[in-house]
Amino acid sequence: MLNEKFNSFLSWHIYQVYPRSFYDSDGDGIGDLAGVTAKLDYLKELGINAIWLCPCFKSPNVDNGYDVADYRDIMDEFGTMADMQKLIDALHSRDMKLILDLVPNHTSDQHKWFQESRKSKDNPYSDYYYWYDTPPNDWQSMFGGSAYSFDEVRGQYYLHSYAPQQPDLNWENPKVVQEIQAVVDFWVDMGADGFRIDVIDQISKDFEGNRNCFGPHLHEYIQALFGRKKTEHIFTVGECWAGELEEIRRHIGQDRGELSTLFQFGHLNYGRADKFTPKPGSLTQLWNCIRYWDETMQNNELLFSVFTDNHDNGWMLERLGSRQYRYESACCIAAMMYLLRGVCFVYQGQEIGMLNPSYSTIEQFRDVESINMYQALCKEMSPERAMEKINFGSRDNQRRPFCWDGTKHAGFTTGTPWIPVHSECKTCNLEKDRASEKSVWQFYRDILHLRMAHPALTVGRFAPVAPRDTNYCAFTRTEGDEQFLVVCNFETPQELKIDGAKGKLILSNYGLIEKTNHYYAPYEVAVFRRTLHG
Ligand code: GLC
């Protein structure tokens, strides 16, 4: 059994906002906090009750806010602390929660700590980062090149797991632990209801095992942050590449005083060989994966998190759905995922079935990872081939402005957007989708509202009905005498004879017409509800 606190998170529908690209309230071409506040009623109508705000702290934006220069202030382009307070109040007055993005592994090189640290080997901040006379290993930066750069001022090398402007904090220094604890407390006092924690597994390095993550002190550090009285009520989700059950349990076991849940990423790799290279993938793979994990997490009293998209990966619909059946496959993925047992995360734009845009030059991209990758690829292949890969895998696919309507700049800004808007925003935008008979948005809304109305779909037991390796998915969710049966066919039309009584059809993406045969069309979803024992 999940305890009361963890159980309550099963009803959270968290919408991930990428503030830079959500809605621009002041015409400077960059989304902002006031823009998020302006759209809360929109989110509420969709059935969202919490938002996760990607980093909004002071930053020179080498990595769009994942390079924090001051954890206690707001990025200039996003507004002020007063705007943040207004957003928090506006959320709470709507009974919605705020989850902030905590980036504890590294800061910006512009952060005061680094500016001080680089000055000398014996100042109060000198051990806040990892400094070396010569690099101790050959670790590579996630954005390309060595993970060690030479700093002229201090005359030493420092470690950066990401861009050179993102030096890694040295958590072995107890002062660093205290500093980040104080940051957490600052935001809890401001009214934050939780945190998504960036690359949490990297805060302790395994130097001996030559791994830049999952070091020997990881759990000690996580407990120092979240195993305290001050933080016992908040929600936390770790960005963490734990794959084995025992490792997952160490992070999110209810008795651990660590995290509430974590993102498990296995399913994001279906449909690609690596981030920039497509490889055929299928919904069958997705079904095998979620079927296993939803059941395993439930049986082990762990809180699962359900998501398909985020700001770091191209759209899942592009890899596992179908362009021809955009509406049907978007609904199929939504029903299959969001009727599971777990905390739901929806990434902005997913609710209108966004697909990857396509561009011909690298000038239309902004992401540091994509630009570095393009330069590296061009050494090995033609620029056209390199662009194909960037179009497939760029993180900018999901970072382009939200398409509100078909007007200039997709209704995102009255100014010039910081990044060109999605190349297909005239055909795929919220206004158009909502007006359509085949509205992905409406389907997302129906699912989220169904969850809100029926405990069976939040806290209820999950039981798979379709076995592994099937070309369809089917499962039940049950609480008390209420049971739902969810059936999602994949691409091939077929007869599906599901055992047992089904009940009344209450949700479909092919019209709410009571099924009189077993035929399922491509990506057809049918959700049935029944009362058990008469
Ligand atoms: C995480 C973030 C990503 C960022 C990186 C460095 O993976 O999701 O956007 O670039 O950490 O902070």
- 149 and 59 inside one domain: no
Provide the 10 A C-beta neighbour count for residue 396. Answer: 26
Cα(66) to centroid(ligand 1), Å:
6
- 233 and 300 inside one domain: yes
CATH of the domain at 302: 3.20.20.80
For the chain, helix (H) and strand (E) counts, in that order, are: 15, 22
What's the Rg (C-alpha) of the chain?
A: 23
Pair type for strands 97-102 and 70-74: unpaired
Find the catalytic residue in 24, 63, 83, 239.
Answer: 239
Q: Is 138 a catalytic residue?
A: no
pLDDT at 502: 80
Q: From first to last of the 534 residues of the chain, give the pLDDT tens digit.
A: 999 999 999 999 999 999 999 999 999 999 999 999 999 999 999 999 999 999 999 999 999 999 999 999 999 999 999 999 999 999 999 999 999 999 999 999 999 999 999 999 999 999 999 999 999 999 999 999 999 999 999 999 999 999 999 999 999 999 999 999 999 999 999 999 999 999 999 999 999 999 999 999 999 999 999 999 999 999 999 999 898 999 999 999 999 999 999 998 889 999 999 999 999 999 999 999 999 999 999 999 999 999 999 999 989 999 999 999 999 999 999 999 999 999 999 999 999 999 999 999 999 999 999 999 999 999 999 999 999 999 999 999 999 999 999 999 999 999 999 999 999 999 999 999 999 999 999 999 999 999 999 999 999 999 999 999 999 999 999 999 999 999 999 999 999 988 766 899 999 999 988 888 899 999 999 999 999 975
Angle (deg, nearest 10), helices 326-338 and 440-453: 20
Pair type for strands 148-151 and 472-479: unpaired
- Nearest atom, ligand 1, residue 312 CA: 9
Residue nearest (by alpha carbon) to ligand 1 atom 3: 312
Residues 6 or more apart whose Cβ sits within 8 Å of residue 467: none
pTM of the model: 0.97
Nearest one of 348, 341, 249, 254 to 298, comparing CA atoms:
341
Number of domains in the chain: 3
Cα(38) to centroid(ligand 1), Å:
27
Ligand 1 mutation pick, 162, 212, 369, max ligand atoms within 8 A of CB: 162
pLDDT at 321: 97
Q: Based on the number of CB atoms within 10 Å of its own CB, is 406 exposed (0-12), middle (13-18) or buried (19 or more)?
A: middle
pLDDT at 523: 98
pLDDT at 532: 94
Cα(171) to centroid(ligand 1), Å:
18
Alpha carbon distances (Å) from 288 to 241, 313, 391, 522: 19, 21, 28, 19
Task: Look at residue 76 and tell me if it is in a domain.
Answer: yes
- 124 and 235 inside one domain: no
Alpha carbon distances (Å) from 197 to 87, 150, 180: 20, 28, 12
Q: Is 28 a catalytic residue?
A: no
- 60 and 203 inside one domain: yes
Residue 399 to residue 395: CA distance in whole angstroms: 7
Task: Look at residue 26 and tell me if it is in a domain.
Answer: yes
Q: What are phi and psi of 368, to 5 degrees?
A: -55, -40
- 184 and 287 inside one domain: yes
Task: Look at residue 165 and tell me if it is in a domain.
Answer: no
- Nearest atom, ligand 1, residue 369 CA: 10
Q: Domain of 32?
A: 15-105+174-363+430-440
